[in-house]
Amino acid sequence: SALNINVEARMWSWKFTYPQGFSADELYVPVDKPVKLNITSKDVIHSFYAPAYRIKVDAVPGMNTYTWFNPSKKGVFDVYCAEYCGVGHSNMMSKIHVVSSEEYKKFINKRISEKESAATLPQLLKKHNCTDCHSLDGTVLVGPTLKDIYKKEVTVIENGKEKTVTADKDYLRESILNPSKKVVKGFDAIMSSYKNDITEKDLEMMLSLFAGEKISESKIDGKKVAEDSGCFGCHSTDGTVTVGPSFKGMYKSKETVIRNGKKIEIIVDEQYLRDSIQQPGKDIAAGFDPMMPSYNNLSKEELDALVEYIKNAGKK
């Protein structure tokens, strides 16, 4: 049977996603193994062109096309975009690496290992194709450089008006998930949203690395803590009200709680979240029954990860 690879084109790079769940910006395949490419585009029309295999297939937004080839000879072969797609079109190139079965297995195992381990900022940015448009050394490309971006004063255009903002975590998150809201002055609004293309774990790690925070290889996944603790049995992440209040938009919201039999207004801050997990009977959200058990069994690291996850749950 053929090896199925998903190919996504976007301005101005190719992303190849393997059955094992990881992605790469160049295609590695074993020799003498038929390959099926399932092709689509994230933004505008591109065209996947591999002259060595006489392949030229359009990559169209919202549409899936496909092609296949049988790599019968080891080597490295060029991939281009054959449809003009904007200022970075000429740089939209990649490679097809045809290797032995043993080399292919080594490649797969290495990428799985990299996927599971902690990443550096350059690795994360390359993984999500950020460096196709943004340099790390101060060079101006299609988009502004990311060198020393954290806490930098940035002039942006929002709703047609010029303003200055600080590139903190909130700004960087918004620029990744909703890039057209605040466009850096002097650059075109051509970046696509990564809302459906980056996991919350990768996004949080990227923001932490921008801020210069140390990331441990054993960093705990807050979502997994929530899953293992059964949080999603009572709390949604999409705004739906179930047994308990939704995590979506909870952090920094104004809420009414029952404390010592009296209603009071509070702002949901980090301490409130910690208390609600460890001492859920202290402040009961108005309109909900006091039925949540205490989670004092969580380690400090697990509690920190869970609180951080709730703070960002449902953000877009």
Q: What is the pLDDT of residues 214-233, one digit of tens each?
A: 655 446 788 888 887 778 87
Please list, in sequence order, all residues whose beta carbon lies within 8 angstroms of the beta carbon of residue 48, skipping any fewer than 6 positions away.
7, 9, 14, 37, 39, 55, 56, 57, 58, 59, 67, 79, 81, 82
In this structure, what CATH number is given to the domain that contains residue 112? Answer: 2.60.40.420
12 within a domain of the structure (yes/no): yes
Same-domain check for residues 188 and 291: no
Same-domain check for residues 8 and 40: yes
Give residue-wise pLDDT tens across range 240-278: 888 889 999 999 999 999 999 999 999 999 999 999 999
Same-domain check for residues 24 and 102: yes
Q: Are 255 and 266 in contact (CB under 8 A)?
A: yes
Give me the domain span that covers residue 132: 121-210
93 within a domain of the structure (yes/no): yes
Same-domain check for residues 148 and 104: no
Q: Given this model, what pLDDT does residue 316 score?
A: 56
201 within a domain of the structure (yes/no): yes
Same-domain check for residues 93 and 79: yes
Q: Given this model, what pLDDT does residue 195 score?
A: 86
216 within a domain of the structure (yes/no): no
Same-domain check for residues 256 and 172: no
Same-domain check for residues 102 and 18: yes
34 within a domain of the structure (yes/no): yes
CA distance 289 to 285: 8
Same-domain check for residues 238 and 195: no
In 3-state terms, what secondary structure has residue 200? helix
Please list, in sequence order, all residues whose beta carbon lies within 8 angstroms of the beta carbon of residue 193, skipping any fewer than 6 positions away.
176, 177, 178, 179, 180
Q: Does pLDDT of 88 surpass 90?
A: no
CA distance 201 to 204: 5
Q: How many independent structural domains does the chain possess?
A: 3
Same-domain check for residues 127 and 98: no
Same-domain check for residues 29 and 110: yes
Same-domain check for residues 78 and 126: no
215 within a domain of the structure (yes/no): no
264 within a domain of the structure (yes/no): yes
Q: Are 86 and 11 in contact (CB under 8 A)?
A: yes
Same-domain check for residues 275 and 238: yes
Average of pLDDT values for 198-211?
87
217 within a domain of the structure (yes/no): no
Residue 48's φ and ψ, nearest 5 degrees, are: -80, 115
Residue where one domain finishes, among candidates 100, 116, 132: 116
In this structure, what CATH number is given to the domain that contains residue 198? Answer: 1.10.760.10
CA distance 276 to 268: 10
SS3 content of the chain, % helix, strand, coil (to 5): 25, 25, 45
Average pLDDT of the chain, as a whole number: 88
pTM, full prediction: 0.51
In 3-state terms, what secondary structure has residue 236? coil
Residue where one domain finishes, among candidates 55, 89, 116: 116
Q: Given this model, what pLDDT does residue 47 score?
A: 96
Please list, in sequence order, all residues whose beta carbon lies within 8 angstroms of the beta carbon of residue 300, skipping any fewer than 6 positions away.
none
CA distance 46 to 238: 34
Residue where one domain finishes, among candidates 155, 186, 210: 210
